[in-house]
Amino acid sequence: MQGFSIVNKAAWVGLKIQLPELAIDAIVKRSDLCRHHSRRYIEELKTLQDEVPPFSGARALKIIESELGKPASELFEEFDDKPMAAASLGQVESGAKGKAGKGKGKGKGKRKGKANDKGAPCKRPRGPMPTRSMLITSHTPSQCSKATREAIRLLEAASESLRQVPEAKEDTPAARSAGESLEAELQALRGDGSAKPQKRPLHFYCEVSRGVALLSYPGEEEDLNAPSPSELVQRVFVQQRDGGQDAQAARFVCRMAPLDYVCAPHLKNFQAAAAAVLPGAFAKARDGAGWYFAFHSRAMGTIKRDEAMSVLKQVLGPLPVELSVSDAEYMVVIEVNPVLCGFSVLQDYEHLLHECNLQKACEVYENKACDCDFESEDEPEDEDEDDEDDEEDEKDGTRTEDKAEAQVHRARTKDGKELAIKIQRDKLKEMYDLDLAQFDKIAVMLDKYKIGVEGASQVWVDMFEDAKVILYREIDYLAEAENTRRWTENFKEVKWVTSPEVVDEFTTSKVLALTFIAGTKISDLKKLESQGFDRTLLAKNLAQAYLLQFCKFGFFNTDPHPGNLAVDDKYPGGRLIFYDFGQACELTDGQADGILQVIQSIVDFEAKDCVKAMDSLGCLKEGTDFKAVEGVVQKNFETGKVKSKRSKRKRELTEEEQQKKAPKQSEVMKYFQLPPALAFVSRAITQMQGVGVMLDEDYEFIDFVADKVPELQVERGAGISYIAGQLFKNWVRA
C-alpha cells in the first residue's frame, strides 16, 4: 500500500502496529526499562493476546438458558451444539502469505531460550532435580507461562482443601470467587516489591519443551503433611467435576500429570526407582487387580516403551496383581524427558482423570450436567444428516476453530427463523480486568519514559483509555447490537454490501442473536472463483466500504479480518457480508475530513495540503516547524517514496531539483504524535490491506477509492472551485 506509506512514515506514525504489541515492543527495546522491571513481567505481557480454550455446546446452552430465563427447548426448534464460528481478539489473518518466511536465515539466528525443532529444553531447570513433580501441558506453546500459573493456583486450592485448615478457609484460593482470585493476583502484580515474596512449595521448575512445563513439589521428608502429587491432581479433577461457585475455571491447562516418584532419565535409574517404590504403591491393591501403563517420552531415547514395560513386569510380577490391557484398575503413568523420569500409580485414570486431560474432563462434566435434549429419546440420531450439515457448514465457509472469547452457534426459532447466536464464555470480564489492568501500568511507564514510535510521541495513557472503552464494549453484546444496527443503517442504500440484523428477543449483554446470512468465506479463493465472484471487484468494494466508513459516516468496524467477511451472490460479481461489530470506533467530523484530505493530497501530490490535513488530524504538536515537515513530505513525493497509481505527477524533476536537500525524516519526527483515536484506524487499514492483497495482488487502497473521493468532497461542501481545480490538475498532468 505505497500510497499510504506517508501515513506511516510522515503522519500517522505507527499506524500499522497493533496497540498492545506496540507497547510491548517499545518496552523490550529499552534495556534500561528491562533492568528495572523483571523479565517475568515482560513475558507475562507477551501472552496477553493468547486465545483461550473452547467451551462445549452443552455449556453454550446453559449460558443461553441463564441469560434468557427459559429452557432452550422452549426457545428454539433446533440448536446446533457445534460452533460454526468463533470470535477472538487475537484472530488476525493476512493475505500476504508469501511474506511469512521473508528474511529467514538472516539476523542473529535463533533466540536464546527458544525450543529447537527437536523439542530440546527451552529453559534451564531451576535448582536440583525435585523429589516429586507435576507435568503441565498448555493448549498452545505460547500459553505455557499462563498454564503454569493457572495450574499452581488450581493445585494450591486443592492442597488447601485436602489439608482442611478451617481458620485459613476465607483466605484460600479455593474459597474465593473467580473475580476475587484474579483481583488477588492483580494486587500481587501491583506490589511495590518492598516485601520479598515467599517461595511457594509448589513452583515452576523448567520448561522441557514448547508448551510443556515441570513443577517442583516438596517430598515427604520436606513436608510430612503435603499431599502427594497424584492426590492433588485427583482433587483438582474432582473440583472441576463437582463445579460450584468456588470452582476455578481451567482456561489454559490442557494436561496435568502427577509424578509421585522422580529419578534421572536413564534405564538403570528407572529400574532402581521402580523396584524401590512400586511394591509399596500396590500394597493396598486387592488380589487380582488389573494394571497397565501409559508411557510418554519427549525427545529422549534413553528409556523406550518396551524397556519400561519389561521393568514393570519384572517388579510387579511377584505381586498379586495382573497385567490387564483393558479396564485396568491401576495405571502406571510414566513420563520421560531430557530433565527427568517421573512416574505415578493412578486409579480412575480414564473415568475421573480422563487420561490426565483436564480440558477433556471439563467438557465431559459439562455434557453430563446438561439435561437439554432436542432429540426424542425414542428417535435415534441420524448420523447421515449430521454429516450433511457438516458438509453444508464447510460449503458456507462458516466453520472455524472454536478457541475464542465467544462462539457462534446456528439455531432455528419456533417460527422457523434461522439465527446465528453469539455466546460469550464465562468470566470473560474478569479476564479483561486482569489483563487490561497490567496495560494501565505499562501506559504510565511509557509516558514516564517518553517512549515514542519511530521518534514520534504518544500519550499512552489516553490511548489505552480509548482502547479499553472499545474493548469493554466488545464484551457487552447490547453495545455490539447497537453497533450492528448503526452500521446496517449507514449502508442500507448500498446494494453491494450487507450485514445481519439483530433479533432483540434473544439478545442480552452476553448473548447476541442475529439473522443468519450464509456466504462463502472471503479467504476461500477457490470457492470464490468456482462460484463466479469477481475478486478484483470485491477488493475494490471492500476499500470503498472503508472509505465510506472513515470519511462519510465517521463510524467503522475496526476488525475486517477474513473471519468477519464473506460473500454471497445477491449482487453482480458478489455482495460483501460484514460480520461482528464488537469492535467499532467513532471518528469526529474533523478526523473524518482529515483522512479524506490526506488521501486527496496523495492523489494530487500536494505536500502543503498533506501537512495541513495531518495538522487537522492532530498528528502535529504545537510549535511544529511546518516548513520542515512540508519539505520532507515534498521530498517523499518527488522521489516516489510516497506515491499511488492515481497520483498526478506534474512533470519530470530537473537534476537540480533531484539533488535539492530537504530535512531528514528523523529530524522532523519529533513534531509528530499519534492521537489515540487513530490507533484503531491503523488496525482496520492493516487488516483490510491483508484481505485486499489476498483478493487482488495489485490491490492499493488509494487506487481503489480515488474515483469516490471527489463525490465525498462534494458531499462535504466542496464547490465549483474544487471541481475546477481537479479538472485543471488532470489537464496539466495529462
Chain segment 478-507, per-residue pLDDT in tens: 999 999 999 999 999 999 999 999 999 999
- Within 348-405, strands assigned E span none
Taking residues 157-162, report their average pLDDT.
82
Maximum average pLDDT range among 271-275, 403-407, 667-671, 707-711 = 271-275
User: Of residues 22 and 420, which shows the higher confidence score?
Assistant: 420
Note down the domain range covering 557.
517-647+654-733
Higher-pLDDT residue of 481 and 59 is 481
Residue 615 falls within a domain, yes or no? yes
**Residue 460: what pLDDT?**
75
* pLDDT class of 638 with cuts at 50, 70, 90: confident
Can you tell me the distance from the alpha carbon of 435 to that of 443, in angstroms, rounded to the nearest whole number?
Answer: 13
What are 93-126's pLDDT values in tens digits? 333 333 333 333 433 333 333 333 334 444 567 7
Give the model's pLDDT for residue 345: 95
Q: Is the pLDDT of residue 327 over 80?
A: no
Q: Is the pLDDT of residue 379 over 90?
A: no
Task: Quote the percentage of the chain above a pLDDT of 70.
Answer: 69
User: Which comes out higher in pLDDT, residue 711 or 219?
Assistant: 711
Residues 606 and 102: their CA atoms lie apart, in Å, by 34
Q: Which residue has the higher pLDDT, 403 or 315?
A: 315
Band of pLDDT at residue 540, cut at 50, 70 and 90: very high
Q: What is the mean pLDDT of the chain?
A: 75
Q: Nearest-CA neighbor of 463 among 611, 618, 612, 613?
A: 618
Using one digit for the tens of pLDDT, what is the confidence trace for 254-274?
899 999 999 999 999 999 999
Give a yes or no: residue 376 inside a domain: no
* Higher-scoring residue by pLDDT: 354, 165: 354
Q: Which three cell numbers stand for residue 279?
A: 511394591
Q: Would you state the pLDDT for residue 316?
A: 94
Total Cβ atoms within 10 A of residue 197: 8
Number of domains in the chain: 2
What is residue 342's predicted lDDT score, i.e. its pLDDT? 95
Record the cell numbers describing residue 491, joined without a space.
449502508
Specify if 494 maps to a domain. Answer: no
User: What would the mean pLDDT of 129-151 be, rounded to a whole number?
Assistant: 87
Please tell me the least confidently modeled range out of 148-152, 443-447, 630-634. 443-447
CATH of residue 342's domain is 3.30.2300.10
Least confident of 117-121, 150-154, 679-683: 117-121
Band (pLDDT 50/70/90 cuts) for residue 719 is confident
Of 14-28, 76-90, 472-486, 720-734, the one with minimum mean pLDDT is: 14-28
Domain end residue (candidates: 365, 385, 411): 365
* pLDDT exceeds 70 at position 607: yes
pLDDT at 452: 62
Out of 47-61, 289-303, 711-725, least confident range:
47-61
pLDDT of 421 reads 94
pLDDT at position 247 is 60
Query: Which stretch, 72-86, 235-249, 284-298, has highest mean pLDDT?
Result: 284-298
Say what the pLDDT of residue 109 is.
39
Of 22, 1, 2, 3, give the one whose Cα is nearest residue 678: 22
d(CA 555, CA 577): 17
Residue 355 pLDDT exceeds 70:
yes
Which of 16-20, 81-85, 445-449 has the least mean pLDDT? 16-20
Q: Which of 198, 193, 207 is nearest to 136 (CA)?
A: 207
What cell does 95 get? 493475505
Rounded CA gap, 477 and 489, in Å?
18
Q: Which residue type, as a one-letter code, is found at position 364? A: V
Q: What is the pLDDT of residue 364?
A: 64
Cell of 614: 495531518
**In a domain? residue 272:** yes
Using pLDDT thresholds of 50, 70 and 90, give the confidence band for residue 161: confident
Q: Amino acid identity, residue 681? A: V
At 595, the pLDDT band (50, 70, 90 cuts) reads very high
Tell whether 499 is covered by a domain: no
- Which band of pLDDT confidence, cut at 50, 70 and 90, is reported for residue 634? confident
Task: Report which of residues 475 and 104 the model is more confident about.
Answer: 475
Per-residue pLDDT band for 446 (boundaries 50, 70, 90) equals confident
- Position 604 scores a pLDDT of 83
Angle at 255 between CA 251 and CA 256, to 5 degrees: 100
Mean per-residue pLDDT, 199-221: 82
Comparing CA positions, the residue from 372, 322, 345, 199 lying closest to residue 261 is: 345
Asked if pLDDT for residue 281 goes beyond 90, the answer is: yes
Residue 681 lies in a domain: yes
Helix or strand (DSSP H, E) at 212: strand 212-217
Q: Among the three residues 311, 341, 365, which one is the final residue of a domain in this structure?
A: 365
Would the CA dihedral through 506, 510, 513, 516 be positive or negative? negative
Q: Which residue has the higher pLDDT, 355 or 223?
A: 355
pLDDT at 588 over 50: yes
| Beta bridge partner(s), residue 673 | 457
Q: Which of the listed residues 317, 350, 365 is the one where a domain comes to its end? A: 365
**pLDDT of residue 384 exceeding 50:** no
d(CA 728, CA 358): 71
Structural domain includes residue 500: no
Q: Contact 330/252 with Cβ under 8 angstroms?
A: no
Does 505 reside within a domain? no
**Global pTM?**
0.56
Q: What is the pLDDT of residue 363?
A: 66
- Provide the pLDDT for residue 462: 76
